[in-house]
Amino acid sequence: MSELEELIKQIEELRSTMIKLKEGKSYTDPEVITASQMLDAVLDKYQEMLIKIKKADLD
């Protein structure tokens, strides 16, 4: 599995976890915030990787 595919899998898992945590809680609940921050970090890595791939394709 490529690094990009692994990030996509992580994104899907973290998104699912965050949705489950959110049930019955507010968006400001510490658990929901932590899950959101974890998802954001992986999304940032994914975005950086896409930029590198596009840049490499242009070179």
20-47 per-position pLDDT tens digit? 999 999 999 999 999 999 999 999 999 9
Residues near 11 by beta carbon (within 8 Å), at least 6 away in sequence = 39, 42, 43, 46
- In single-letter form, the type of residue at position 40 comes to D
* pLDDT given at position 19: 94
Q: Mean per-residue pLDDT for 12-25?
A: 95
Cα 57 from Cα 11, distance rounded (Å): 24
* pLDDT given at position 34: 96
Question: Is the pLDDT assigned to residue 59 strictly greater than 80?
Answer: no
All structural domains of the chain with their residue ranges: 3-58
